[in-house]
A and B are shown apart, each in its own frame.
Chain A
Amino acid sequence: MPTSAAEETKTESLLSILLTFLKVGAFTFGGGYAILPVIQQEVVGRKKWVSQKEFADILIITQGMPGQLALNSAIQIGIRLRGIPGGVVGALGVSTPSVVILLAIAAYFYPLIRHNDYVQAIFYGLRPAVVALIASAAYKMGRDILHGWSGIILCAGLLVVAVISQVHPILVLLIGGLVGIFAYRGWDWK
């Protein structure tokens, strides 16, 4: 019947949700922004679990709520497919490879190699590289978010507050959010 295809309910097995996200977690390098396109390819393109439109909604929630990007989208896709158990399985899938791999490195490989000269040399180069990536992330976020003077002044003001007062970053974030409610009011985000 032609109508049944349109009303087809999504009944993916929990195992298939788990395996899909295990694969994403185990083989995708480069963090959240690199993982999202892979998830999209997997669940929109190959598996057809969610439509392009649904995935766009998932991304809006993913980026506007607390938590890691890959994790937030995996949980939402799991929920759409199989409710709460699906969400738990999605979270488990995308984070288990991280835990297993990093535990193996932290417990076995790192202590074994950390005093090696070449490993020291690698970390000597990695540290400034990581700091460069952090600085570059600050610049790129600023370029994307701080439109106009109100944003730049808010950011600069909070930088001064953070440097001088040495308060916990959570407090700085909350002050930023509260000031944002007023400073950005009436702004057209489209």
Chain B
Amino acid sequence: MGYQASFRVWRGDVTGGQLHDFTVPVNEGEVVLDIIHRLQATQAPDLAVRWNCKAGKCGSCSAEVNGMPRLMCMTRMSTFDQAETITVTPMRTFPVMRDLVTDVSFNYTKAREIQSFAPPADLAPGEYRMRQVDVERSQEFRKCIECFLCQNTCHAIRDHEDNKQSFAGPRFLMRIAELDMHPLDTADRQRAAQEEHGLGLCNITKCCTEVCPEHIKITDNALIPLKERVVDRKYDPLVWLGNKILRR
């Protein structure tokens, strides 16, 4: 069942690095992360890799396998040809720390910039009543395991370092959508989405959805609906007029 696979793994740090070639045994049923661990245990004890649960639930082992952003623990070796050379590199949007580990603090900074859930002031714990149909949309977004693969693949920051200031990225725009659809949230988030968190930078090319290991429909269910909500607030004279009249 087992065979010898050819791996090319990027090793290095902020000062530089390169792809290193390895030949490593592979057994039936293994995933890329198993092979990286085998390299660690047998050939490169100081090979840095970030991982936790090994079951696609924690979102730690994000990397790029043959150029595609993926979780290493969810990339089965059986999806590759045995003769194929498999290239593993760190995520290329974030600063590298060492080997396959990147500095993802950008994401934690962005998380802090999103206004938190604003519950109704008069509702005590235990009094919350929400219908299943009203929480389902936000629940989909709360499946997010924060692997940051969507952030990594989004060309708005991957290819444009200068946009990192003004763009929250798909994960955190989705967080705004989640709260904007939360049945009990009281904050006004739509203008901020466009004006502070860079929703307009999204050109809905859907790579975030393509790489999401949780198969969340980020673009169709979060980003586009959020864009439409922003249109309501900023670009639709009819809605503006309607609101004016109804408020009277």
Task: Note whether A and B form a binding pair.
Answer: no
Q: Which residues of B contact A (CB under 8 A)?
A: none
